[in-house]
Structure 1
Amino acid sequence: MNSHKVFLGKSPLRASDVSAIARDRAELVLDETAVARIRASRALVERFAAESRPVYGLNTGLGASVDTPLSAADMIDFQRRVTHSHSVALGPMLPTDAVRALMVSRISGMAAGGAGVSETVVRGLVAALNAGLHPQIPSWGSIGAADLAPLAHMAKALRGDGMAEIGGKVMPAASALLLAGLEPLDIREKDGHALVVANSLSTGTACLCAEDTKNALDWSLAAVALNYEAFRATTTALDADALAARPAFGQQEIGARLREELKGSGLWQPGAARRLQDPLSYRCVPQVWGALLHALNEATLATEIELTHSGDNPVILPDRDKIVSHGNFDMTAFVLSWERLGQALAHAAAATASRTMKLMSASVSDLPRFLSAKGQHQAGFAVVQKPIAALEAEIRHLANPISLSPMAVSDGIEDQSSMAPRVVAKTAEIVERFRYLVAIELMAAATAVELRGVVDQLGEGPRKSYEAIRILSAPLDEDREVSSDITRIAAVVSLPRP
């Protein structure tokens, strides 16, 4: 087990904490503040149950069956049936990091104190997570009005039914629990409903995607700077006074980051630029990447609101001595932020593709066509233009919105929803493709600075990027298969930039 621990309770989790737990196997620890909130909300649920006070999901059916009261004798059995009746997810299984992120997100929501769940259930989730026991959860089937189906598959497996993975092996969940030395979850009043009534798939995977987007953004700025060097772009696009004259979201920060990246570059010398004004894909980087940075910050904030608060319906409010039915599970604000991030990435992808193509155009860059070092009897980067065009087109397609409400369900009662998990999933698909575009730009720009003969004039950031690329990909002196090179670079682009 990773010796790093992440404590939950007094301090709320951040998206980076979820990533550390989900991917780096940091241990999650509930502190006493979290435990106190869980106990207080559970005490209120038990009192309402003892007093037979009507509470949705405690002593009533779910969805359209809210009009169906449950007898005291049926309350616990009903909760145990919830985990099975709601296990209707379909399609490919979620990857392990997504399952772990989902589990962290649900634990975090429960620790906020609004779920009213039994302490033993929360501790069981934490124990399974830290033991590396991962329920097999199909990825399709949630419309984003709580990720009911994926969470039900999680809960069902932790009760010993279904399949789970542990130690890299998939086996019956009961066997996995036995191997981990864990007891199946003991479901009591309201526990089944509390396990499923959250947007934990959407929130957990959004935490991972936010980290991935940050890494891709950082590397894309490195690619921009190296391309500036290769193209001999004018640095006036980064002028601080010009950017302050109309301080659109994020552009001043991006301008400052690129000026720092290009510190020591020959581009700052008078007459270094080839043009008075460059094409917009060069000139408008602060504006386009500023919008991307702003969209990422907003999506991360929206995600951390969901991660650290209770979207449970009903919400348990022990400090107010009440349990309230409401609509806080609705993810409209969240999905609009994530749709915006996908569209911002699409703008950056279009600019990345355009700049890379321009490097290969002799009439625009004054470099050999297709960056072929030995003339046109060698292909150089000519055929790489096809995956560039394909990736950019797919990104534009994925950036189209899906979050407008799907059809009504539950006998028309649930007539609005956000498609939150699919919005996050398609944004993650955009980021994956964007990484490859960034990798190609880095590789092409590294070749271009060699052909331009300016390697000894590179700024501090571009020199670091150039040297990193040359470790992963040798100069393209002769035609060869370059897919492997691009893939290696894209794998590095998925990591934090040193």
Structure 2
Amino acid sequence: MENSRIVIDGTALTCEQVVRSAREDVTIAIAPEGVERARAAWRVAREVAETRPVYGRTTGVGANRVVDVEWEDADAHGLRLLRSHAAGAGPLIAPEIVRAMLTVRLNQIAAGGSGVEAGALQALADVLNLGLVPPVPVYGAIGTGDLTALASTALCLLGERSWLAGADGVPERGPGYTLRSADALAFISSNAATLGEAALAVADLREMLRASMVVAALSHLAVRGSAEPYAPPVHDACPHPGQREVAAAMRTLLAFEHPVPVRIQDPYGYRAFPQVHGPALEAGEYAREIVTREVNAAAENPLVDVAGRTVWHNGNFHTAYVGLALDAARAALFQTMALAAARLGTLAEPAFTGLYPFQGATEASSGIMILEYVAHSCLADVRRLATPAALGSAVLSRGVEEHAGFSTQSARATTDAVAAYRLGLGCELVAAVRALRMQGRAPSGGPLRSAFDLAVAVLDPRVEDRPLDADIAAAADLLPRLPLA
């Protein structure tokens, strides 16, 4: 089936395809044009290295770039490079992130700028199709190349290290592949692990931001909010694209509802929702564009220029764009999650719901009181993780590598922030659906009614005091399935 197959050609990989490769049972295939690009770049790299110094092929790396590698030592040089750089630390990163890394590196090599021999493409595809991953520790990269992760991958390809297979990470020998020594630096000089995690995080982020609008509409209905803040003239007067998108979505979700507003102005969680959630939508979309551009780029150093039959030493290994885009997305995520927590507060208030405090079964019941604590615990983590990774820097390799953007840390922070956001948003969904149930109300139709029905089917209807942890988990799992239109 076509849906179970992803064809890698070096130019058109999407974040969504990275997600599928990382999390689903798909077959990875390589387009012939990707193989030919890689083959042509490898030939040019060899030709140029015979006539002039090429970083990593005929020289050492980092501060050792000034040291020439003697031809009789060339075969051993690359292997020493891989062994010395396969030195990450800490727990292993999640297998799905490693699969994302392998997918991205496969696509990058197919883009034709690395000079890695074309046989590496099929080797990486075979590993993905067999469900194998290299052991990749979490610590070792700072946004200027995932050297430790890819060196470990290379040693697995060479048979010096075992792959990991299955959910338990059982060591296993994989298909053999002889990575040429001259290609060692070219293979590991990539940000594939950072970009792979960024692609997963961005896809999850955008999914949660879409779900947020459905949950906010359910809360809006539960507190009998005013639809005035979403009126077209309001957003024509201040026409930010994300803001207008949120307002339009809220109008669609609430199109079947015509309650008489009970307040002249609602709290910011409703009244300013488009103005706060809109920037998050725009930041998420911008991050998707940046990551997509990067995973399809021949961002290699040195870059093999097939058309010009030369190589260019350059700075495309630096992922400042990615790190800054993700930093901005997390800042926007915190802002909109703060509004979600504020809406949750209104759902605990009798003045907004017409119910007992905390939607309790009796006036003295605790009801959903604990949901606020959970949501604010999640919010605290999102706030902590919103600190820009780009504020750090580093001077390495005897001072010749004097800057780092820490996009790796930004990608990791985004993964964790989205996970916390999902649970906090799940708390709001539990409270909104419970309020509507206790009021004896439901959306009148459209996608909001469909979302409500999905939630009712998985959320426990009991209102007596009881543990709500299962409710939060069920709501968080449901979020990606909530229909927006």
Task: Give the structure-1-normalised TM-score.
Answer: 0.93
* Shift of residue 92, structure 1, vs aligned partner: 1.2
The corresponding residue for 1:399 is 386
Cα distance in 2, alignment partners of residues 217 and 3 from structure 1: 25
8 Å Cα contact 2:451/2:482 also seen in 1? no
Alpha-carbon distance change, 495 to 166 in structure 1, aligned in 2, over 3 angstroms = farther
Determine helix, strand or coil for the equivalent of 2:90: strand
8 Å Cα contact 1:2/1:27 also seen in 2? no
Comparing 365-374 and 144-153, the one that deviates more:
365-374
Instruction: Report matched runs for 1:314-353 at 5 Å.
Output: 314-353=302-341
Cα distance in 1, alignment partners of residues 224 and 316 from structure 2: 52
The corresponding residue for 1:479 is 465
Matched, 1:301 2:326: no
The corresponding residue for 1:106 is 105
Alpha-carbon distance change, 171 to 459 in structure 1, aligned in 2, over 3 angstroms = closer
Cα distance in 2, alignment partners of residues 70 and 37 from structure 1: 27
The corresponding residue for 1:444 is 431
Cα distance in 2, alignment partners of residues 375 and 392 from structure 1: 28
8 Å Cα contact 2:56/2:185 also seen in 1? yes
Cα distance in 1, alignment partners of residues 478 and 217 from structure 2: 17
Cα distance in 1, alignment partners of residues 195 and 263 from structure 2: 46
Alpha-carbon distance change, 428 to 494 in structure 1, aligned in 2, over 3 angstroms = farther
Q: Amino acid of the residue matched to residue 161 of structure 1? A: E
* Shift of residue 364, structure 1, vs aligned partner: 4.6
Determine helix, strand or coil for the equivalent of 2:391: coil
Cα distance in 1, alignment partners of residues 370 and 8 from structure 2: 50
The corresponding residue for 1:263 is 255
Deviations 1:380-438 (A, max 9, x none): 01122211221111111110112224221111111101111110111111110111111
Deviations 1:313-349 (A, max 9, x none): 0000011111010111111121111000001110111
Deviations 1:350-399 (A, max 9, x none): 000000011102245443211113222x2101122211221111111110
The corresponding residue for 2:173 is 176
Q: 2:300 aligns with which of 312, 316, 321?
A: 312
Alpha-carbon distance change, 189 to 141 in structure 1, aligned in 2, over 3 angstroms = closer
8 Å Cα contact 2:355/2:439 also seen in 1? yes
The corresponding residue for 1:75 is 74
Cα distance in 1, alignment partners of residues 275 and 162 from structure 2: 48
Instruction: Report matched runs for 1:80-479 at 5 Å.
Output: 80-172=79-171, 175-177=172-174, 182-183=175-176, 185-267=177-259, 272-376=260-364, 378-455=365-442, 457-479=443-465
8 Å Cα contact 1:90/1:141 also seen in 2? yes
Cα distance in 2, alignment partners of residues 112 and 307 from structure 1: 10
Alpha-carbon distance change, 3 to 340 in structure 1, aligned in 2, over 3 angstroms = closer
Comparing 401-410 and 309-318, the one that deviates more:
401-410
Taking only aligned residues, the RMSD between alpha carbons, in angstroms, comes to: 1.8
Matched, 1:59 2:46: no
Unaligned segments of structure 1, at least 5 residues: none
Determine helix, strand or coil for the equivalent of 1:319: coil
* Shift of residue 494, structure 1, vs aligned partner: 4.8
Cα distance in 2, alignment partners of residues 409 and 495 from structure 1: 46
* Shift of residue 71, structure 1, vs aligned partner: 1.1
Cα distance in 2, alignment partners of residues 74 and 188 from structure 1: 13
Q: Amino acid of the residue matched to residue 13 of structure 1? A: L
Alpha-carbon distance change, 200 to 95 in structure 1, aligned in 2, over 3 angstroms = same
Instruction: Report matched runs for 1:38-49 at 5 Å.
Output: 38-49=38-49
Determine helix, strand or coil for the equivalent of 1:153: helix
Unaligned segments of structure 2, at least 5 residues: none
Q: Amino acid of the residue matched to residue 485 of structure 1? A: D
8 Å Cα contact 1:473/1:485 also seen in 2? yes
Determine helix, strand or coil for the equivalent of 1:234: coil
8 Å Cα contact 2:374/2:427 also seen in 1? no
Comparing 130-139 and 96-105, the one that deviates more:
130-139
Identical amino acids, percent of aligned pairs:
28
Query: How many aligned positions are there?
Result: 484
Cα distance in 1, alignment partners of residues 6 and 119 from structure 2: 20
Alpha-carbon distance change, 280 to 264 in structure 1, aligned in 2, over 3 angstroms = same
Alpha-carbon distance change, 199 to 495 in structure 1, aligned in 2, over 3 angstroms = farther
8 Å Cα contact 1:194/1:312 also seen in 2? yes
Task: Give the structure-2-normalised TM-score.
Answer: 0.96
Cα distance in 1, alignment partners of residues 379 and 139 from structure 2: 25
